[in-house]
Structure 1
């Protein structure tokens, strides 16, 4: 299909998008005809079915939704279908995998006898469906939703460990590999869940566009099935301590919302290992940007204080939460082309009532002014409970101070009330031209496309774990790009300069390091997507390792193009990403040393200068060992990357000057 004014055409109808196979079955087929999603009527019930490469993957997906006590779609059966092909260019406001990409899928809208529709989209790399209602009432109550996935085989799955506290969670999941039949029954966990299909394909299950509704959770069921569950609407909340806003009592329904609306997508990304790293399907399912003005939204890198405990030395002041320390962070950021600093926990008095009570040792307005003089913005951390209790006053004060963003932490829920609160934060922050970084809460489900001032989410087992556990292993680090990162940008907070082998690592809260080599940390800045990317360590340690700063200063946080060089789920990953006319490479392995062959055929004509940071010859025993090199390459070159246990590789490739 040709281009029309730079945008692929949207065809209103197509012969192949949906096929009525028999009286009560509707099939939607991917444009390349490899994926088929079917809706079948079973008496008064309907169910879905997913087939990949001609083979059933999910035999049955029983589904219904109950609104104001009425279960839909009811007994009326299928009424009619409407089909179309979508083929268009998408240009994200904040680029991730690419600055523009093609959205191509077939779509079917199935209308039932009654006020509900089911919308299905099937892409070349997956399928999704969602309920839509047209009930003529300003507000309805969603009592419940039936949803399960009965798989055709006992596929191995990278399954998130359930929380002991049920639906109260930071969603910083460890992932274990187990057959579907071993998924714990009655213990819900939050997706994404990644399954290994036959023939090298994977299936990632998650939800998208969660607005005015709770997030999707998954638990084991009988046989080779998984069952969906949802956090019920909170009837009563209780603040425990200064930040844990727990649910003391839950209602017997899921959501209260408008009667005419679209519900969240239930999505299946279907791709091989490399395809998981480049899939844009979930992005396209989210609602487009609702902001009229986005020119002020500036991604960037951040000098961050909390992880490194402000361990600054060789300075004529006592480091801590004080004016001198944060001016030093600003000066460090300015000297190294970093766009922001974060004042994390401690800048205001403790307790949700005291968000705007700045500690005596700090003057926020003066810090902002100092930052502005050096083109460095200030971002402030806060708990969600504190922000909620001071909401309007807080945003007015933030504007008065002139800060550039907020980091909202300790949400720990994704029921409707909390999801609505996150959207409210995004909207009001945009009105005040503030960036948002969500921590301690749910995974991204598309809010970052709809409100692109939401630059990143945590909800990841990140570097902070090294302060108190051994959970953030290199094996987990190379699993995340194929699981959590497929859902959206993740604030892993890389950049540790104290690096340890598997034998030498110890968790140290006040002077933390990382598991794996220093180059493993550097590679994360290319492999991991986050438009707001932290430098987690202290300025002192970066000064002690000056060889790393040319890379950390140069590496961007948004990208124009991505090329996958190597992809093995949970084992190793290597990608090349382009920004403008410069390419960056990041490669990582688990605790197994590897040798990767990476072809540079993506380069254009001519010679290029490659600056590299690779594991040194002694990195297997001294994880900080790094070799910095320079060479000339071209499109015919092949890089041989020798990665130490927990190792990595990073490079910058620029066209040679003629």
Structure 2
């Protein structure tokens, strides 16, 4: 009997340490190897590495990277023994998105479960999925217990080769900062704490791009960040610290439990930009009836005046702007609870509805900055449901909830509770001053957009965006906007408190380059009324939710051309991120066969004028577009 058990143990060890730890994507381009580096007592570290196949074979893009997770009562790192693994199983499902870069998405991967026990014989699984455009993995505790278990940390670390080029944002609760280029991994403040997503260019001679993020956050997860304090080329997944009003690190949960998905978009730049990996690994839709969820353009009052909606007459002006521009929504921002000058909030809502415009309203989450009111109407279930019922009754279609306080578990639960309760009253949601998207757009599609970006609102606050906007705008399509809708509040032609020096055509292009289920157009009404006919008509008709998205050309911080399809039309947006003239080249290989009419609206003689060009193109055609410094263009193609 002992001899048989020994043979079984040796067989399991052999399985866990040799060939079966290798996984490949359905198209064979991405390979994952999971290694168990066992000590003398068969307890040891678990690592993974990722290889990408190019013309010369597989290249290592993520070298050996530690795996592991820590509970308060148990350690699952450095003391693991492999007890088996599943066969590689295909994942293959199609699902529909209401908003986002693609309507029909395909969740296609190969999945394998690696099974371990720790020194106390407690089980833990690591589930890996390998996609054609990336890798995702998560931890599972499979035992059952009604007692609260505390998950306090991870040893998960992403190792990258030295001299890797990177675009990583210093961490803030609001995720509002730039993505500066670096090849050292060191930050200006020496804190070495970074927010998701994080973009890396591996191997500069034959580059492979990697974007790190995470997805499928639930009420039983907190959201993580990255730290590289010990080694600038090792980015550790790090849980948020306790807050003054929330004395908890990590997660408290019953068992069984699963972590968030750790997500790595991998491939060429187009693979990263076009990927739907974040929603692929997230839970399917939990809202039974969704016909009331409708993406759309929004007129927005705050940007031009650095104030909210206290003045009823100004709110009416923005409602009338939505009517003129054929935008379905108007956002009534903060200060609506003290509205004067001819009407109150109910009058403003009635005015909008009477003109065929659907009103949205702003709320303070009540968790961080408590000056703008109303402060706490969303904070508890009782207050939230009372407020949502009132909004439904008076004819409001969506809410913007602002000023969230961190990535701790209680905040994740708060986001999800808002989405669940809002859905009961058919209310759409915009999260502002918030965490980045983590897959909720699939599970709760009434979340239309999230800020979590250093957007045009910052023209109100500091002068820094004036000089950095162009390069920042040309970086966001490769970083923040990859993982979900982004409420940048784009397309402004006049100046707010601080000027912008991007061209008018550059600003127009942001309506296509940036994806957001609610696209808030932020300028003064007169700025849109004064536009020439062609760009004005373009803004009246440009969609905000897309059937397909293609990266035509681009490089972070330098330039980008995005092509997005809606129905039988393609919309193109291109921007120059440089302070010098640049020729952007459109290769029309993304088109189907046949001839297309194209209307191109590009930089004119100066940065405040446009030129309109009409011509025909077909699949394989190439068109060079001259852009001014910080310039750009849009185009509409139709067969």
TM-score, normalised by the number of residues in structure 1 = 0.85
Please tell me whether residue 118 in structure 1 is matched to residue 126 in structure 2.
yes
Please tell me whether residue 160 in structure 1 is matched to residue 169 in structure 2.
yes
1:406 to partner: Cα distance: 0.5
In the alignment, which of 182, 186, 204 is matched to residue 182 of structure 1?
Answer: 186
Q: 1:57 and 1:563 mapped to 2: Cα distance?
A: 24
Q: 1:538 and 1:434 mapped to 2: Cα distance?
A: 27
In the alignment, which of 205, 210, 215 is matched to residue 217 of structure 2?
Answer: 210
Partner of 1:201: 208
Give the superposed CA RMSD. Answer: 2.4
Q: 1:187 and 1:321 mapped to 2: Cα distance?
A: 41
Q: 1:320 and 1:22 mapped to 2: Cα distance?
A: 63
Q: 1:155 and 1:80 mapped to 2: Cα distance?
A: 35
1:162 to partner: Cα distance: 4.2
Whether contact under 8 Å (1:21, 1:27) holds in the other structure is no
Whether contact under 8 Å (2:472, 2:557) holds in the other structure is yes
Q: 1:29 and 1:123 mapped to 2: Cα distance?
A: 8
In the alignment, which of 17, 27, 47 is matched to residue 22 of structure 1?
Answer: 17
Q: 2:504 and 2:564 mapped to 1: Cα distance?
A: 20
Partner of 1:589: 576
Deviates more, 1:73-82 or 1:449-458: 73-82
1:637 to partner: Cα distance: 4.0
Deviations 1:123-182 (A, max 9, x none): 12111110012231233221322222233433121121245xxxxx21112122223453
Deviations 1:466-515 (A, max 9, x none): 2222235200100000011111111111111127xxxxxxxx52xx5433
Report the secondary structure of 2:322's partner residue.
helix
Whether contact under 8 Å (1:443, 1:458) holds in the other structure is yes
Q: 1:93 and 1:636 mapped to 2: Cα distance?
A: 30
5+ residue gaps, structure 2: 1-13, 367-374
Partner of 1:225: 234
Whether contact under 8 Å (2:97, 2:105) holds in the other structure is no
Q: 1:565 and 1:134 mapped to 2: Cα distance?
A: 44
Report the secondary structure of 2:510's partner residue.
helix
Partner of 2:150: 141
Partner of 2:282: 286
1:361 to partner: Cα distance: 5.2
Please tell me whether residue 522 in structure 1 is matched to residue 508 in structure 2.
yes
Report the secondary structure of 2:355's partner residue.
coil
Partner of 1:108: 112
Report the secondary structure of 1:624's partner residue.
coil
Report the secondary structure of 1:189's partner residue.
strand
Q: 2:34 and 2:88 mapped to 1: Cα distance?
A: 17
Deviations 1:422-470 (A, max 9, x none): 0111111111111111111110011111100001111011111222222
Partner of 1:598: 586
Q: 2:185 and 2:175 mapped to 1: Cα distance?
A: 23
Partner of 1:341: 330
Whether contact under 8 Å (2:103, 2:548) holds in the other structure is yes
Listed as ranges, the matches of 1:46-57 within 5 Å are 46-53=46-53, 54-57=58-61
Deviations 1:199-239 (A, max 9, x none): 121111111112222211112233422222111344x42xx
Partner of 1:166: none
Q: 1:320 to 1:295 in 2, by over 3 A?
A: closer
Report the secondary structure of 2:86's partner residue.
strand
Please tell me whether residue 38 in structure 1 is matched to residue 33 in structure 2.
yes
Please tell me whether residue 268 in structure 1 is matched to residue 264 in structure 2.
yes
Partner of 1:373: 354
Please tell me whether residue 644 in structure 1 is matched to residue 628 in structure 2.
yes
Whether contact under 8 Å (2:336, 2:344) holds in the other structure is no
Partner of 1:355: none
Deviations 1:544-592 (A, max 9, x none): 1143220101100011122332122221111221111111111011123
Please tell me whether residue 543 in structure 1 is matched to residue 551 in structure 2.
no
Whether contact under 8 Å (1:497, 1:513) holds in the other structure is no
1:93 to partner: Cα distance: 2.7
In the alignment, which of 396, 399, 412 is matched to residue 406 of structure 1?
Answer: 399
Whether contact under 8 Å (1:171, 1:441) holds in the other structure is yes
Please tell me whether residue 321 in structure 1 is matched to residue 310 in structure 2.
yes
Report the secondary structure of 2:287's partner residue.
coil
Q: 1:20 to 1:278 in 2, by over 3 A?
A: farther
5+ residue gaps, structure 1: 1-18, 164-168, 238-246, 312-318, 350-357, 500-507
TM-score, normalised by the number of residues in structure 2 = 0.87
Partner of 2:441: 448
Partner of 2:470: 474
1:115 to partner: Cα distance: 3.3
1:533 to partner: Cα distance: 0.3
Deviations 1:579-615 (A, max 9, x none): 1111111101112321122133444455443222110
Q: 1:455 and 1:171 mapped to 2: Cα distance?
A: 18
Deviations 1:393-438 (A, max 9, x none): 3222212222000001111411111111001111111111111111
**How many residues were matched structurally?**
590
Q: 2:226 and 2:190 mapped to 1: Cα distance?
A: 10
Deviates more, 1:83-92 or 1:268-277: 83-92
Whether contact under 8 Å (2:474, 2:559) holds in the other structure is yes
Partner of 2:3: none
Whether contact under 8 Å (2:125, 2:139) holds in the other structure is yes
Q: 1:222 and 1:327 mapped to 2: Cα distance?
A: 55
Whether contact under 8 Å (2:598, 2:638) holds in the other structure is yes
Partner of 1:9: none
Q: 1:627 to 1:91 in 2, by over 3 A?
A: same
Please tell me whether residue 628 in structure 1 is matched to residue 622 in structure 2.
no
